[in-house]
Amino acid sequence: MSPLYDLASLAKPLVTAPLALAFLDLDADRRWALGFHDRERPLTVRQLLSHASGLPPWRPFTGGALAEQLRHPVSGHALLRPAAPGLATYSDLNYRLLAELLEQETGVPFAALGKASGLRPFPWHPAPEALPDGPDAEAWRLATALPLPPQGPGLPQDANARAGMRGHAGFGATAQDLRRTLGCWVASGWPDRMAVETAAGEDGARWGLGLQVALEGDGRFGRLLSGIPEGLGCQVLEDPGSAEPPPLPSAASRPGSPSGWWFHLGFTGPALFFRPSDRTCVALLLHRRGPDGRLLDAEALHARRWALLQAWTTSLR
């Protein structure tokens, strides 16, 4: 039987963004509904979907109002820094607010809304592979005096999501689950609506309404995916995770042009790629745990994703 994978932030394009596109006005001003009474400019669903709201990357989910939490600046960790002025800054907080708006609009708990995706909301049984605490656990201790939420075998694998943060985490899938979900996701037209370039981001990123442009250039996913035949449908690739992958190729210092693909990554390892021209969709399923049991850092995780995708693209040629 295929193992269960914690999809982490793949919940953003697969669950939260489709719900927002289905139920919410993209351009209505939501400042007051979300408690941002002292914000000078509008706060819209379009901004939240494209990470262009100006919110910082992360704050611990403690159950309190986010607007009130942000009135008390904290620092000392990359996750706690302010947003880059004038640029889309990837932030879990955007999708936390989208979940709040969806619950306000529909009167239905977010987890119940998310079940329509076909993915499995936590708590999970059986559980995904256990992971050591990640960077958000360090940032948690700097941002609040409240205790770090305990680990649990059926809970999402990062501290913020373990605390109950809705909108960006909390769904798992086996390979079979994900294949079914992707088929419905593509057939319903959700990724086509997300793959609309909306905001320029940090480090050359370009965001749509829930997906990011995959750019060309050495060492970038867009280059690796270029040349894949059309008409492949939805593909789900599982990483055996039995050996260390080869080193990553050197990345170009500047990103290239758009490759025709869009993508999203999850903290726990999985990745999702979509090509609007023929609606081909490729998902990677892997665990962010090395053979020695440690939590893989970003570079090691990227190398594992790259190796899995490269093996598959090579087999196609």
Arithmetic mean of pLDDT, 237-266? 86
Alpha carbon distances (Å) from 23 to 101, 107, 188, 272, 294: 9, 12, 15, 24, 41
- Torsion angle defined by CA atoms of residues 41, 20, 182 and 317, in that order, rounded to the nearest 10 degrees: -20
- Give the model's pLDDT for residue 89: 98
Arithmetic mean of pLDDT, 95-116? 96
Identity (one letter) of the amino acid at 84? Answer: A
HSE-CB for 285 with a 13 A CA cutoff:
21
- Give the model's pLDDT for residue 248: 83
Domain range summary for the chain, segments of one domain joined by +: 5-171, 173-316
Q: Which helix (H) or strand (E) holds 111?
A: helix 110-114
- Give the model's pLDDT for residue 244: 80
Is 219 within 8 Å of 158 (Cβ atoms)?
no
Tell if the pTM clears 0.75, that is, is over it.
yes
Question: What does the pLDDT look like over 258-299, one tens digit per residue?
Answer: 999 999 999 999 999 999 999 999 999 999 988 888 999 999
- Give the model's pLDDT for residue 292: 84
Question: What does the pLDDT look like over 260-270, one tens digit per residue?
Answer: 999 999 999 99
